[in-house]
A and B are shown apart, each in its own frame.
Chain A
Amino acid sequence: QVQLQQWGAGLLKPSETLSLTCAIYGGSVSVYHWSWIRQPPGKGLEWIGEIYQGGRTGYNPSLRSRITISIDTSKKQFSLTLKSVTAADTATYFCARGLTRKSPLDTWGQGTLVTVS
């Protein structure tokens, strides 16, 4: 049974860089697509992007200029970096797993609340 455990700084100032990491326990890394999703307080979910197949990435066009998703297969971890944050980036950030592009996200991390203030 795969589990995802995520961590990162919870409080940032405007213009700083958000950095989150998600560790993969109990499953293969290379087979799956690994995604980041965020949810502003009281609002819906927003897909940030994904990484798969040896480092290929797909990003939400609305965030592409500020985000980087990377993976360290030896550590079984993948990470999200979001530059130049503003208050609008305040959200709970989730990591998640899908089998392929367009597959459902069948496993989620616990979420990390990031506040920009």
Chain B
Amino acid sequence: SYEMTQPLSVSVAPGQTATITCEGDSIGRKNVHWYQQKAGQAPFLVIYRSDNRPSGVPERFSGSASGGTATLTISSAQAGDEADYHCQAWDGDTSFFGGGTKLTVL
């Protein structure tokens, strides 16, 4: 079983930069995907393969991964960015998710 650890919560002031981490063994060597999930909704892909942004996702969202940490960065955070964020990666033939991070913009 492959474990990925995310902080339970992150807070950011409007207009500032939020950083959400996902720690796992050699995660920098894996393709990490990030999903945004707003209350009562299905997850939505915001970053794929560690540092790629799907079309339609604001440039404020970026990702990186190195060593044992993958990072989702949200610059100029807005109230509409409040959500849970989940990292995902594969280890062998099984996919795993981190525990999720609640982002609060206040």
Residue numbers of A with Cβ under 8 A of B are: 35, 37, 43-47, 58, 60-62, 94, 101-106, 108-111
28 A-B residue pairings within 8 Å (CB atoms): A37-B97, A44-B86, A44-B97, A44-B98, A44-B99, A45-B35, A45-B86, A45-B88, A46-B97, A47-B88, A47-B94, A47-B95, A47-B96, A47-B97, A58-B93, A94-B42, A101-B93, A102-B95, A103-B48, A104-B45, A104-B49, A104-B88, A105-B43, A105-B88, A106-B48, A108-B43, A108-B44, A110-B42
> Bound state CA distance, A74 and B88, in angstroms?
31
Interface residue total, chain B, C-beta cutoff 8 A: 22
> Bound state CA distance, A60 and B90, in angstroms?
11
Q: B residues 92-106 with Cβ under 8 Å of A?
A: 93-100
Partner of A102, one of B31, B43, B45, B97: B31
Q: B residues 1-46 with Cβ under 8 Å of A?
A: 1, 31, 33, 35, 42-45
CB distance from A37 to the nearest CB of B (A): 8
B43 lies within 8 A of A45 (CB): yes
Partner of A45, one of B54, B90, B97: B97
**Residues in A neighbouring B48, C-beta threshold 8 A:** 103-104, 106
CB distance from A50 to the nearest CB of B (A): 8
**Residues in A neighbouring B43, C-beta threshold 8 A:** 45, 94, 105, 108
B45 lies within 8 A of A106 (CB): yes
> Bound state CA distance, A101 and B49, in angstroms?
13
A61 lies within 8 A of B45 (CB): no
Partner of B90, one of A43, A102, A106: A102
> Bound state CA distance, A45 and B45, in angstroms?
14
**Residues in B neighbouring A105, C-beta threshold 8 A:** 33, 35, 43, 45, 88
A111 lies within 8 A of B100 (CB): no
- Residues A109 and B45 in contact in the complex (CB < 8 Å), given A44-B99, A45-B86: no
> Bound state CA distance, A45 and B98, in angstroms?
8
**Residues in B neighbouring A35, C-beta threshold 8 A:** 95
**Residues in A neighbouring B54, C-beta threshold 8 A:** 104, 106
Partner of B94, one of A45, A61, A94: A61
